[in-house]
Chain A
Amino acid sequence: DTAVSQTPKYLVTQMGNDKSIKCEQNLGHDTMYWYKQDSKKFLKIMFSYNNKELIINETVPNRFSPKSPDKAHLNLHINSLELGDSAVYFCASSQGWIGAPLHFGNGTRLTVT
């Protein structure tokens, strides 16, 4: 069973569209994250939620809106997609956030054309 699962794995869309990426974890963790990995493999945090409460909101365009319906799910909605949004988006979870390892999903490769 996949611990942190994201859907879809690949997402190809045109500029201006709105898309969502879903994430679910079955580890019983209370903290979930979204990270963005660029073409040079650099990983940068976007958001984190603890028990459905937003903890981290990095300098991310407000076209990106995370939603956590419960502590096992953290979805990412992106409005008005731009070419620069093309990247691999990783969902992750951890138990607590003070020095706990993150468990990552396998990523969603978003390509905006």
Chain B
Amino acid sequence: GESVGLHLPTLSVQEGDNSIINCAYSNSASDYFIWYKQESGKGPQFIIDIRSNMDKRQGQRVTVLLNKTVKHLSLQIAATQPGDSAVYFCAEKGAGSGNTGKLIFGQGTTLQVKP
């Protein structure tokens, strides 16, 4: 079946450094991917999305890279700040979901920012 996985459950970085959070997906037919940030006690918050016809998309301090050849997605956060500490999820629109909008979430990577 479909799965979305992250390489590391926890990532610890120094404040000011760049962070890279990785995600692997299994379904080559997936055409839409999203990154979410979840802070403690809150719901997931949309960060950035990318469609399969792109390989890179940039936002404010964040960049998402999509490598369809190896089915790999990454989120890069520039100049990581303490407020970036959270759990980060990648999600894909699953194959066969067609018009159902079903998102399949990965397990989550906890980003810890050290001052």
Residues of A within 8 A of B (CB): 4, 31, 33, 40-45, 48, 55-56, 90, 92, 94, 96-107
Contacts and interface: CB of A to CB of B under 8 A. Distances in A.
12 contacts: A4-B43, A33-B101, A41-B107, A41-B108, A42-B108, A43-B105, A44-B105, A97-B101, A98-B101, A105-B43, A106-B43, A107-B41
Contacts of A56: 100-102
State the majority secondary structure of interface residues on B. Answer: strand
A45 B107 contact: no
Given A45-B103, A97-B101, A99-B31, A104 B51 contact: no
A53 to B, nearest CB: 12
Contact of A104 (B31, B41, B43): B43
Contacts of A104: 36, 43-45
Interface of B: 31-32, 34, 36, 38, 41-46, 49, 51, 87, 89, 91, 93, 99-103, 105, 107-108
Contacts of A94: 101
A99 B43 contact: no
Nearest to A90: B43
A96 to B, nearest CB: 8
